[in-house]
Amino acid sequence: MSEVTQTRLWLAQRISAMVLAVAVAIHLTGIIIAIQGGLSAAEIIGRVGGSFTLAAFYGVFVLACAVHAPIGLRTVLAEMTDLKPVSVNGIAGAFAAVILLMGMQAVLGFYGLGGG
């Protein structure tokens, strides 16, 4: 992997960190407000399901996670294990794919449930 790519990954991690900081704040505030109206599955689906805005927001959230966490994992593995760079990049890439798939499945799942 070239130095330019390595530096871009680092930059992507910083930028996704900023996105995450905002997203986590909104997410937590949202939860605290939403809990006031009850915490049943039906309640949650009623609020979140079918909302394009919320689906878009959580889509960005998942994307930022899928960028941020695997790059950090890549650094930790490189510093703390004897794994070869190919393996490290492979594991980090797979981790990104898992986060992206699971996260998007959840987001689309809620969206698909409609407004309850």
Partner 1 sequence: MSEILVVEIWRGAEDGHFQSFDVPRLENQTVLDVVTYVQRKLDPGLSYRFSCRVGMCGSCAMTVNGTPRWTCRTHVSRVAEDGQLQIAPLRNLPVIKDLTVDMRNFFDKLAKAGGAFQSTKARTDNFAQIPPADPRRKQADAGIECIGCAVCYAACDVVTWKPTYLGPAALNRAWTLVNDARDGMGDKRLSLVAGDDGCIACHSQQGCQEHCPKNLSPTAAIAGLKRSVAVAALKGKL
Q: Is 86 exposed, middle or buried (0-12, 13-18, 19+ CB in 10 A)?
A: exposed
Q: Is there binding between residue 84 and partner 1 (CB under 8 A)?
A: no
* Helix and strand counts by DSSP (H, E) for the chain: 4, 0
Q: Is there binding between residue 41 and partner 1 (CB under 8 A)?
A: no
At 85, list the tokens: 């760079």
Answer for which of 32, 33, 41, 80 binds partner 1 (CB under 8 A) is: 80
Q: Is there binding between residue 10 and partner 1 (CB under 8 A)?
A: yes
Answer for which of 36, 52, 79, 82 binds partner 1 (CB under 8 A) is: 79
Comparison of 48 and 64: residue with beta carbon closer to partner 1: 64
| Location of structure tokens 């890439």 | 93
